[in-house]
A and B are shown apart, each in its own frame.
Chain A
Amino acid sequence: MDIKLQMKGRTLIAALSGELDHHSAKTVKDMLETAIVNKSAQNMVFDLTNLTFMDSSGIGLMIGRYKLITSIGGKVCIVSKSKTLNRLISMSGVTKLMDIYQSTDDAVKSVGGM
């Protein structure tokens, strides 16, 4: 699991690559929590473009960050082109909380970060 963090305005973009499961989720969660506070992020984009595997641990991770970001009045969305990942995301109900975009630019625009 590798994670790259980037700020665009007040939007934190977290680009995840590799496999996101229960084993890796704890590390990712800690990195995101730190980044959200240290960078004063208001919105967040999960870029899953280079994620090769995710199970429901990833869903828990995204819902946890959604609760945090929305508690400070921000928005969260997802970038994913993978049919397999999108199926998991849709069946979990996460798409009722955050939209899925094809590109980070579209995602950042949607949360008002640019």
Chain B
Amino acid sequence: MNNTKDNEMTLIFKSKSANESFARATVGAFASQLDPTLDELADIKTAVSEAVTNAIIHGYNNTTGDVHIHCEIKDRTIYIEISDKGCGIKNLAQAMQPLYSGCPEMERSGMGFTVMETFMDSLDVSSTLDKGTTVRMSKTLRA
């Protein structure tokens, strides 16, 4: 049976850092139809900000490409997929280690994936060198 509350949206934008706030605000606005708590909303926006920043800094390495976000709502769960068609991640296990930064000279904390993992219920990252990276996250909101 179709749940009339189920919903989805797609957002495509250029990999410019000015779009980081646009991306998290848009996903936050989409998630707001689930009446999230302030903490839940902050968790989602922070996780999205981390994934989008990774796509811009590491995926496209400050060249310009498209960042795709696809969100789905099923019952009380929001599924968020953020992908780029950038350089990909050579060593994904290393990149996902807390405090590891691929750009130490940029003063990154290396906490991006840890934040996503902590603030969301699930995190799955797939990456192919020279093809790009896709981050899939989900979070079930309290009723």
Chain A interface (Cβ < 8 Å from any Cβ of B): 19, 21-23, 25, 29, 53, 55-57, 59-61, 63-64, 83-84, 88, 91-92
Contacts and interface: CB of A to CB of B under 8 A. Distances in A.
A83 B43 CA distance: 12
Contacts of B49: 21-22, 53, 55
Nearest to A53: B45
A102 to B, nearest CB: 20
A19 B20 CA distance: 11
Given A60-B109, A84-B39, A23 B18 contact: yes
B73 interface: no
29 contacts: A21-B20, A21-B21, A21-B53, A22-B49, A22-B53, A22-B56, A23-B21, A29-B107, A53-B42, A53-B45, A53-B46, A53-B49, A55-B46, A55-B49, A55-B50, A55-B53, A56-B109, A56-B110, A57-B53, A57-B108, A60-B107, A61-B107, A63-B109, A84-B42, A88-B46, A88-B115, A91-B118, A92-B109, A92-B114
B57 interface: yes
Q: Is the interface of B mostly helix, strand, loop or mixed?
A: helix
Nearest to A64: B107
Interface of B: 17-18, 20-21, 24, 38-39, 42, 45-46, 49-50, 53, 56-57, 106-112, 114-115, 118
Contacts of B57: 22
Nearest to B16: A23
B13 to A, nearest CB: 13
Report which residue of B18, B38, B112 has the largest number of chain A beta carbons within 10 angstroms of its beta carbon. B112
Contacts of B50: 55-56
Nearest to A65: B107
A23 B20 contact: yes
B38 A84 contact: yes
